[in-house]
A and B are shown apart, each in its own frame.
Chain A
Amino acid sequence: MREITTKSMPYDAWKDNEYIEKLVKELQDSGANVIVGSLDKLINWGRSNSIWPLTFATSCCGIEFVSLGAARFDMARFGWEVARSSPRQADFIMVAGTIVNRMAPVLRRLYDQLAEPKYVISCGSCAISGGPFRKSYHVARGIEDIVPVDVYVPGCPPRPEAMIYGIMQLSRKIKVERFFGGVNRQESRKQYLAEHPLEADNA
Chain B
Amino acid sequence: MAELQDKISKRFPDATFENGEILLINIADAQLHDLVKSLRDEHGFDYLVTIVGMDWTTSMGCIYYLTSTATRQLVSVKVQTADRDKPMLHSIADLYRIAGIFEREVYDFYGIVFIGNPDMRRLFLNIDWVGYPLRKDYDATPELNPVSIENERQSDSTYTWVEQADGTVEKKEVAVFTEEDFVVNIGPQHPATHGVLRFRTSVDGETIKKIDVYMGYIHRGVEKLCEDLSYMQTLHFMDRLDYFSAHNYHHGLCLCIEKAAGIEVPERARVIRVLMDELSRIASHCLFIGTFCMDLGATTMLFYTLRVREQILDIMEKTCGARMTFNYDCLGGVMADLDPDFVKDVKELLAVIPKNVKEYNKIFTGNVIAKNRMEGVGVLSREDAISYGVSGPSGRASGWACDVRKTHPYSGYEKIEFEQVVRTEGDSMARFKNRVDEILQSAHIIEQLIDNIPEGEWLAKVPKVLKLPVGHWFQLVEGCRGVFGVYIESDGGTKPYRLKLVTPSLTAAAVVDHITSGQKIADLITIGGSLDYIVPDMDR
**Using a CB–CB distance below 8 Å, which chain A residues touch chain B?**
54-60, 62-64, 66-67, 70-72, 85, 87, 97-98, 100-106, 108-110, 132-133, 135-141, 145-146, 156-157, 159, 196, 198-199, 201-203
Confirm or deny: B152 has a beta carbon within 8 angstroms of a beta carbon on chain A: yes
Are A135 and B219 interface neighbours, CB within 8 A? no
If A137-B224, A157-B323 are given as contacts, then 11 extra A-B residue pairs at C-beta distance below 8 Å, sorted by A number, are: A58-B196, A60-B324, A63-B287, A67-B309, A70-B310, A100-B219, A102-B126, A105-B150, A106-B196, A138-B133, A203-B154
Name the CB-closest residue of A to B141. A137
Q: Could you list some 18 contacts between A and B, CB below 8 A?
A: A55-B191, A58-B535, A60-B239, A66-B306, A70-B302, A70-B306, A72-B310, A85-B190, A87-B189, A105-B148, A105-B152, A106-B188, A109-B151, A136-B224, A137-B145, A138-B145, A138-B220, A196-B149
A97, A109, A136: the one contacting B225 at CB < 8 Å is A136
Confirm or deny: B200 has a beta carbon within 8 angstroms of a beta carbon on chain A: no
Name the CB-closest residue of A to B131. A137
B124, B151, B323: the one contacting A203 at CB < 8 Å is B151
Distance between A12 CB and nearest chain B CB, rounded to angstroms: 28
Which chain A residues border B188 with CB–CB below 8 Å?
A: 103, 106
Are B217 and A106 interface neighbours, CB within 8 A? yes
Distance between B82 CB and nearest chain A CB, rounded to angstroms: 26
Are B195 and A58 interface neighbours, CB within 8 A? yes
A60, A137, A198: the one contacting B221 at CB < 8 Å is A137
Are B153 and A63 interface neighbours, CB within 8 A? no
Distance between B43 CB and nearest chain A CB, rounded to angstroms: 39
Are A64 and B149 interface neighbours, CB within 8 A? no
- Given A103-B218, A138-B221, A203-B154, CB of A71 within 8 Å of CB of B140: no
**Using a CB–CB distance below 8 Å, which chain B residues touch chain A?**
124-126, 133, 138, 140, 145, 147-154, 188-191, 195-196, 216-222, 224-225, 228, 236-237, 239-240, 243-244, 287, 291, 302-303, 306-307, 309-310, 323-325, 535-536
Distance between A31 CB and nearest chain B CB, rounded to angstroms: 37
Complex: A60 Cα to B239 Cα, angstroms: 9
Distance between A62 CB and nearest chain B CB, rounded to angstroms: 7
Name the CB-closest residue of A to B539. A100
Name the CB-closest residue of A to B305. A70
Are A102 and B125 interface neighbours, CB within 8 A? yes
Which chain A residues border B124 with CB–CB below 8 Å?
A: 102, 138
Are B217 and A102 interface neighbours, CB within 8 A? yes
Are B147 and A101 interface neighbours, CB within 8 A? yes
Complex: A109 Cα to B188 Cα, angstroms: 12
Are A71 and B307 interface neighbours, CB within 8 A? yes
Complex: A145 Cα to B287 Cα, angstroms: 34
Name the CB-closest residue of B to A84. B191
Are B148 and A104 interface neighbours, CB within 8 A? yes
Which chain B residues border A109 with CB–CB below 8 Å?
A: 151
Which chain B residues border A106 with CB–CB below 8 Å?
A: 188-189, 196, 217
- Given A72-B310, A138-B133, CB of A60 within 8 Å of CB of B216: no
Are A202 and B151 interface neighbours, CB within 8 A? yes
A62, A101, A196: the one contacting B145 at CB < 8 Å is A101
Complex: A157 Cα to B133 Cα, angstroms: 27
Are A101 and B191 interface neighbours, CB within 8 A? no
Distance between B477 CB and nearest chain A CB, rounded to angstroms: 20
Complex: A110 Cα to B217 Cα, angstroms: 14
Complex: A148 Cα to B291 Cα, angstroms: 31
A133, A157, A203: the one contacting B324 at CB < 8 Å is A157
Complex: A135 Cα to B226 Cα, angstroms: 11
Which chain A residues border B140 with CB–CB below 8 Å?
A: 137
Complex: A97 Cα to B539 Cα, angstroms: 14
Name the CB-closest residue of A to B188. A106
Complex: A141 Cα to B219 Cα, angstroms: 14
Are A67 and B148 interface neighbours, CB within 8 A? no
Complex: A80 Cα to B306 Cα, angstroms: 19
The 6 A-B residue pairs with the shortest CB-CB distance, nearest first, are: A136-B221, A70-B306, A108-B149, A60-B243, A140-B147, A59-B536
Distance between A66 CB and nearest chain B CB, rounded to angstroms: 7
